[in-house]
């Protein structure tokens, strides 16, 4: 089957001007972590600090790219030379899907998130990280995890500007949304909620052609989120021949 030999998510732990892309999945021990602390560089997962549920909704400010259990830097942290900067949508070279030239997409790829690798259904308004809670995330219960995506592959032109609007906790649209085809982001971030809310690329990438697709994501929390150890997955769903 014409699947890809290499298909990864990469995070930029360099800078906006000089990106340094590191693989955060699907390789074992590579992952994305969040914290409300700026100093969580090279911290073993067993001692990763818990977060206190806030009294009001807020963004989880610090996003980390881990490449081993105790090896990781903040996104846009000059490869760890500085503490993880607080989330800013203006850091538009944030993350990307990267595939090699061995596969052929049979339809446009999809960016979403699931509670686990089992890809179980997400129940809106259940208070979980992806299910959301109406009182915090609005709508019928949007995800606390928001995503954005660029309207073209980076071989045409990588993003040269940030999404027009910062993510907010109430962002979301039921079902699929797509950025307009071309050099632009979604106008607003989308709820990433399994098969309920997701982002569909406005293109089918060229066959047997290596490329990347720029994405952006941000995590919120709030007083109505159910406390738990969340181990969700972000997924690129795609078809191949």
106 near other proteins (CB under 8 A): yes
Positions 51 through 70 that interact with other proteins (CB under 8 A)? 66, 69
Report long-range pairs for 73-76 (Cβ below 8 Å, ≥24 apart). Answer: 73/13, 73/22, 73/41, 73/42, 74/13, 74/38, 74/40, 74/41, 75/11, 75/12, 75/13, 76/12, 76/13, 76/14, 76/15, 76/16
Q: Which two tokens stand for residue 88?
A: 């800013």
What is the footprint of other proteins within residues 191-220 (CB under 8 A)?
195, 198, 200, 204, 207
Does 117 bind other proteins (CB under 8 A)? Our answer is yes
Give the residue with the Cβ less far from other proteins, 101 or 165: 101
Smallest CA-to-CA distance from 58 within 136, 125, 113, 129 is with 136
Residue choice 58, 90, 116, 155 for contact with other proteins (CB under 8 A): 116
The pair of three-digit structure tokens given for residue 1, joined into one six-digit string = 């089957």
Nearer to other proteins, 33 or 79 (CB): 33
Query: Across-strand partners of 219?
Result: 145
Number of neighbours of residue 73 by Cβ within 10 angstroms: 25
- The reply on whether position 75 binds other proteins by CB under 8 A is no
Q: How far is the CB of 17 from other proteins (least distance, A)?
A: 25
DSSP letter for each residue of 58-94: EE--EEEEEEETTEEEETTSTTTTSPPPPP-TT----
Binding-site size, other proteins (CB under 8 A): 56
Contact string (CB under 8 A) for other proteins, positions 19-38, x = contact: -----xxxxxxxxxxx----
Contacting range for other proteins; rule: CB under 8 A; set: 80-88, 149-157, 180-188, 226-234:
226-234
Which residue, 6 or 18, is less far from other proteins as judged by CB?
Answer: 6
What is the distance between the alpha carbons of residues 153 and 150, in angstroms, rounded to a whole number? 8
- Give least dist CB 160 to other proteins, A: 25
Q: Is 156 an interacting residue with respect to other proteins (CB under 8 A)?
A: no
**What is the C-alpha to C-alpha distance for residues 71 and 41, in angstroms, rounded to an integer?**
7
Residue carrying structure tokens 């299910």: 131
Judged by DSSP in three states, 215 sits in: strand
Whichever of 86 and 106 has its CB closer to other proteins, that residue is 106
Contact set with other proteins (CB under 8 A): 1-3, 5, 7-9, 24-34, 45-46, 48, 66, 69, 102-108, 110, 113-114, 116-119, 176, 195, 198, 200, 204, 207, 229-241
């Amino acid at each position: 089957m014409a699947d890809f030999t290499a298909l990864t998510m990469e995070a930029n732990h360099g800078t906006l001007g000089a990106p340094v892309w590191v693989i955060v999945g699907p390789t074992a021990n590579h992952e994305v972590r969040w914290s409300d602390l700026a100093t969580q560089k090279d911290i073993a997962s067993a001692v990763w600090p818990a977060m206190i549920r806030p009294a009001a909704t807020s963004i989880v400010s610090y996003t980390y790219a881990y490449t081993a259990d105790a090896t990781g830097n903040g996104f846009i942290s000059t490869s760890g030379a500085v503490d993880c900067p607080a989330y800013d949508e203006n850091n538009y070279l944030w993350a990307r899907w990267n595939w090699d030239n061995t596969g052929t997409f049979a339809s446009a790829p999809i960016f979403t998130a699931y509670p686990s690798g089992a890809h179980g259904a997400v129940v809106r308004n259940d208070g979980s990280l992806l299910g959301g809670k109406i009182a915090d995330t609005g709508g019928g219960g949007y995800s606390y995890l928001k995503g954005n995506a660029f309207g073209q592959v980076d071989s045409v032109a990588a993003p040269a500007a940030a999404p027009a609007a910062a993510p907010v906790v109430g962002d979301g649209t039921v079902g699929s949304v797509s950025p307009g085809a071309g050099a632009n982001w979604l106008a607003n971030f989308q709820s990433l909620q399994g098969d309920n809310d997701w982002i569909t690329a406005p293109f089918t990438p060229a066959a047997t052609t290596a490329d990347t697709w720029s994405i952006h994501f941000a995590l919120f929390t709030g007083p109505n989120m159910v406390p738990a150890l969340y181990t969700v997955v972000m997924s690129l769903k795609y078809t191949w021949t």
